[in-house]
């Protein structure tokens, strides 16, 4: 999220593999032909970046023998068994590290089929360490599953203790420059309206203010006293309260917001010109105006520059550009 101090196998839909939260026996227990549970107690000893040793991450022509945790192998094998046309030899899988993810490690897995040149593709997401300070992982997983059911974003194919397997979206992520493209910006505006109108479970309670307070408390707990004073954290508490008082009105439209619409979380299918929003770690109910404003803030960031932490406010959209975006948003059917 930009400084709070501010994919498709159309011809087949595989099942979702889930992770048990409470099984203590039988690592795999079949409930039906199309669903199964893997015990969380089988969590591999190697986690996150250590889940895939460097030699595996750098290898792009197959798995390194012994480096793939058994739990993940079971998930992949069971997903593959539902396809029925992939080769059995997991050593033939091609693993390609993907760049751009900020809170996870993601890999493209190409799985050869028995048909010759045709490959199945899935996306493997390994959850990042320490991110619980920023969002609730359980909430993120529930949101992802709901989005999958709504036909938004990639389908969930399988889960394990430290990550999940997702449908591979055949589209490209946007660049910082793309956000200023008139046509692409209009597509994003329309997609945001659709996203905000989704029927999502849970109370329509604004999360923004409590989240900022939680993040501020976390920052203060991690910083020495001199940094708390230097960065004026105490004044930020007053500023959050002031903003909440000034910006909380009964007439505000509350919707389910993405809250992190930077260019890396927006994908464009060049053929169909359709937009897909991905990565819902920060998604929650909020004023939809906040999601729009945060997207404008993201236009000043370039996370692939030599100084990704420095924002260029000269790139903040002007009044006419913002009006055009909002007009497209409001005129969209959602």
Asked if 332 and 306 touch (Cβ cutoff 8 Å), the reply is no
249 versus 315: the higher-pLDDT residue is 315
Q: pLDDT band for position 100 (50/70/90)?
A: low
Q: What percent of the chain has pLDDT over 70?
A: 75
Query: Whose structure tokens read 């192998």?
Result: 73
Asked if 313 and 302 touch (Cβ cutoff 8 Å), the reply is no
Nearby residues of 161 by Cβ (< 8 Å), 6 or more positions away? 19, 40, 42, 43, 44, 71
258 versus 46: the higher-pLDDT residue is 258
Give the CA distances from residue 322 to residues 135, 189, 240, 292, 327, in Å, rounded to whole numbers and listed in that order: 29, 11, 24, 9, 8
- Long-range CB pairs of 210-217, under 8 A, 24+ apart, other chains included: 211/4, 211/284, 212/4, 212/240, 213/237, 213/240, 215/4, 215/133, 215/134, 216/240
Q: Which two tokens stand for residue 243?
A: 């903003």
- Domain locations along the chain: 18-167, 173-206+248-331
314 versus 160: the higher-pLDDT residue is 314
Indicate whether 2 pLDDT > 50. no
Burial 107-140, CB ≥16 within 10 A → b, else e:
bebbbbeeeeeeebbbbbbbbbeebeebbeeebb
Please tell me the pTM assigned to this model.
0.73
Alpha carbons 251 and 17: distance in angstroms, whole number: 42
pLDDT of res. 301: 94
pLDDT of res. 84: 78
Alpha carbons 230 and 251: distance in angstroms, whole number: 38
**In the predicted model, what is the mean pLDDT of the chain?**
77
Pairing of strands 28-32, 94-98: unpaired
- The CATH class for the domain spanning 173-206+248-331 reads alpha beta
Q: Check the CA dihedral 226-227-230-233 and report its sign.
A: negative
Question: If DSSP codes are grouped into helix, strand and coil, which group holds residue 184?
Answer: helix
Question: How confident is the model over 246-271, as a mean pLDDT?
Answer: 94
β-partners of residue 167 are 122
Give the CA distances from residue 42 to residues 70, 120, 160, 294, 313, in Å, rounded to whole numbers and listed in that order: 9, 27, 9, 40, 48
132 versus 80: the higher-pLDDT residue is 80
Q: Which two tokens stand for residue 44?
A: 């591999």
Task: Compute the CA torsion angle 43, 30, 281, 176 (nearest 10 deg).
Answer: 100
318 burial class (0-12, 13-18, 19+ CB within 10 angstroms)?
Answer: exposed
Alpha carbons 64 and 186: distance in angstroms, whole number: 44
186 versus 145: the higher-pLDDT residue is 186
């Amino acid at each position: 999220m930009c400084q709070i101090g501010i994919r498709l196998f159309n011809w087949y839909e595989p099942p979702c593999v889930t992770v048990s939260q409470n099984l203590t026996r039988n690592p795999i227990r079949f409930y039906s032909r199309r669903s199964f549970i893997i015990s969380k107690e089988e969590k591999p000893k190697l986690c996150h970046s250590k889940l895939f040793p460097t030699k595996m991450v750098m290898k792009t022509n197959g798995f390194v023998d012994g480096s793939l945790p058994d739990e993940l192998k079971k998930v992949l094998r069971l997903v593959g068994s539902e396809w029925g046309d992939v080769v059995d030899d997991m050593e033939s899988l091609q693993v390609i590290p993907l760049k751009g993810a900020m809170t996870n490690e993601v890999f493209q897995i190409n799985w050869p089929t028995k048909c010759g040149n045709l490959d199945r593709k899935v996306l493997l997401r390994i959850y990042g360490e320490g991110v619980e300070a920023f969002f609730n992982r359980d909430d993120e997983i529930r949101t992802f599953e709901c989005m999958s059911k709504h036909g938004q974003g990639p389908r969930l194919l399988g889960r394990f203790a430290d990550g999940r397997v997702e449908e591979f979206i055949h589209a490209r992520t946007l660049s910082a420059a793309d956000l200023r493209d008139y046509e692409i910006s209009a597509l994003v505006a329309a997609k945001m309206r659709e996203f905000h109108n989704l029927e999502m479970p849970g109370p329509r309670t604004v999360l923004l203010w409590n989240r900022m307070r939680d993040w501020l408390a976390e920052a203060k707990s991690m910083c020495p006293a001199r940094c708390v004073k230097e960065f004026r954290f105490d004044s930020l508490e007053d500023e959050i309260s002031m903003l909440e008082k000034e910006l909380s009105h009964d007439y505000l439209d509350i919707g389910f917001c993405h809250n992190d619409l930077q260019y890396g979380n927006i994908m464009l299918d060049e053929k169909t010109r359709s937009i897909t929003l991905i990565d819902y770690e920060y998604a929650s109910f909020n004023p939809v105006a906040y999601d729009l404003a945060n997207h404008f803030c993201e236009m000043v960031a370039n996370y692939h520059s030599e100084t990704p932490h420095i924002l260029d406010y000269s790139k903040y959209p002007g009044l006419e550009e913002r009006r055009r975006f909002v007009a497209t948003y409001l005129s969209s059917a959602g």
